[in-house]
Structure 1
Amino acid sequence: MTLLSDRVVLVSGGTQGVGAAVARAAAREGATVVVTGRRAELGDPLAAELGGAYVPADVSDVASARASVQAAIDRYGRIDCLVNAAGLTSRGTLLDTTPELFDQHIAVNLRGPFFLMQAVVRDLLRRGAPGTIVNIISSSELGGQPFLAPYVAAKAGLAGLTRNAAHAHRFDRIRINGLDIGWTDTEGEDATQRAFHAADDGWRERAAKTLPMGKLGQADEIADFVVFLLSPRSGVVTGSVLDWDQNVQGGLD
């Protein structure tokens, strides 16, 4: 038996980075996977590779997010699992963040996941079915760097939402958990380092030397953990926001 046999899994932000890694891991474990995102040139070939579906969607637009859930239900009849992996990591401090930048972070990192969860949970309740949700959050939600102020605000909200929704729907057998992931090697992180920190081709190697395990977090390793949380193998766990990081929160040298 594979971990996600006969499950329909929707992955928002599933066309690249952690989302794409989760989509691949879920498919390997027997799931039918629907990936969403804004880039068809990535989504279409990935869906073809996995034997699933790509649905164009912008999570910052509530109507688009809701439509992606409905498209998956229309095609496969249901959604059993949701992974909120879409994210925005552009920089801003408390002092230089504009209302527009703040709203962008809330829209992508909090409002989008909120209404995707709402739509999926409504479908689960309509069918009287159990389900699982995993939200990709960030260890930065516990404080983060000064240049991540709007990001931290939104991700901290997502951590609170994860616990609240899990509590509200525990008797519906809908398990909802989150991962506070640390610094991870993805296409998006590479673009962010180059855009905001003047990074060159050697930034990964230099960063790795500063980290306890000698490497950045890897998307495929995160994906395996997400699949475990989505699957029955994670038992009754719900409402947990788990640290997936090599730095210990609260630890000081």
Structure 2
Amino acid sequence: MNGSAGRNSETRAIVTGGAQGIGFAVAEALADEGCRALALVGRSREKGDKAVAALAKDGVDAIFISADVSVVADCKRVVETAIAHFGTVNALVNAAATSARGSLVETSEDLFDQIFQTNVRGPFFLMQGVVAHLLDRKAPGSIVNVLSMSAHCGQSFLAPYSSSKGALATLTKNVANAYRSNRIRCNAVLPGWMDTEGEAIVQKKWHDAPDDWLEKAEAAQPMGQLVKPAQLARLISYMISPQSGVMTGSLVDYDQTIAGSSPE
């Protein structure tokens, strides 16, 4: 018997960025592990409706909430809408993010604000809403924030992005510490270079990448691949589930590059 079967049967989750990429991969993993209540959050109604339809085929009560997580009012509406529909929520995956480029000397005030509002402020107020709901119900819950290996340092053209992920790392630990006695757990994953639709767009837009960029990128990696959303999603679904026990405040690197290593 699959050890993961049914481990998320009691999970009622909000997943931001849930209509594509890592967010949708997480939704699929949760559904495969028994979750029957999923609120997917994103900006594209077309993508959202398609994602919901795919989950509904497997008997999931899935809804799409059109929202921009950089807007606090939208974050509050997301939590309220999910609770109104499902009666309660006990899980949150913050997968939505922007990886817009900018070095220290090139980043404008507007770009800095856009990145931090999406990558830090959004998760902050989404967690605020979910945690307040759980505290009111005196119920346990689980949160996973999707960070990046860039939180350790990042490339020169990712100065504000890397900073935002570093801030979310600290916030993850702060929330974990604050609510551990309430059985509300908060963890994070730090994936490396990932193969997603969004990354393909980024490579074309910012790096003038050729059509075969993925093949070339994977050939140069130690394990011959980039991080795959479906692989990472299983780790996140485990961290969300009660099966992960008392795990909280953990920042889990998910990459084939080791932080702090140097070329031999």
Helix, strand or coil at the partner of 1:193? helix
C-alpha separation in 2, matches of 1:78 and 1:33 = 11
Matched, 1:11 2:15: yes
Q: Residue 27 of structure 2 is aligned with which of 23, 27, 32?
A: 23
C-alpha separation in 2, matches of 1:208 and 1:48 = 32
Amino acid at match of 2:70: S
Q: How far off is 1:45 after superposition?
A: 1.7
Amino acid at match of 2:55: L
Q: Cα RMSD over matched residues? A: 0.7
Q: How does 1:64-79 map to 2 (within 5 A)?
A: 64-79=74-89
Corresponding residue number in structure 2 for 1:129: 139
Q: How many residues of Structure 1 are paired with residues of Structure 2 in the alignment? A: 253
C-alpha separation in 2, matches of 1:205 and 1:225 = 25
Corresponding residue number in structure 2 for 1:214: 224
Amino acid at match of 1:123: H
Helix, strand or coil at the partner of 1:171? helix
> What's the CA shift string for 1:143-184, capped at 9, x where partnerless?
000000010111100000000000000000001000011000
Q: How far off is 1:251 after superposition?
A: 1.1
Superposition TM-score, scaled by structure 2 size:
0.95
Q: How far off is 1:38 after superposition?
A: 0.3
Q: How far off is 1:6 after superposition?
A: 2.4
* Alpha carbons 2:147, 2:168 under 8 Å: kept: yes
Corresponding residue number in structure 1 for 2:247: 237
Helix, strand or coil at the partner of 1:132? strand
* Alpha carbons 2:191, 2:254 under 8 Å: kept: yes
Corresponding residue number in structure 1 for 2:41: 36
Superposition TM-score, scaled by structure 1 size:
0.99
Q: How far off is 1:50 after superposition?
A: 1.1
Corresponding residue number in structure 2 for 1:154: 164
* Alpha carbons 2:11, 2:241 under 8 Å: kept: no
Helix, strand or coil at the partner of 1:53? strand
C-alpha separation in 2, matches of 1:152 and 1:2 = 36
> What's the CA shift string for 1:117-151, capped at 9, x where partnerless?
00000000010000000000000011000000010
Helix, strand or coil at the partner of 1:6? coil
C-alpha separation in 2, matches of 1:54 and 1:73 = 13
Amino acid at match of 1:241: L
Runs of 4+ in structure 1 over 2 Å off = none
C-alpha separation in 2, matches of 1:131 and 1:28 = 19
Q: Residue 118 of structure 2 is aligned with which of 95, 98, 108?
A: 108
C-alpha separation in 2, matches of 1:27 and 1:160 = 29
Q: Residue 93 of structure 2 is aligned with which of 45, 67, 83?
A: 83
C-alpha separation in 2, matches of 1:118 and 1:184 = 28
C-alpha separation in 1, matches of 2:159 and 2:258 = 21
Q: How does 1:176-187 map to 2 (within 5 A)?
A: 176-187=186-197
List alignment gaps of at least 5 residues for structure 2: 57-61
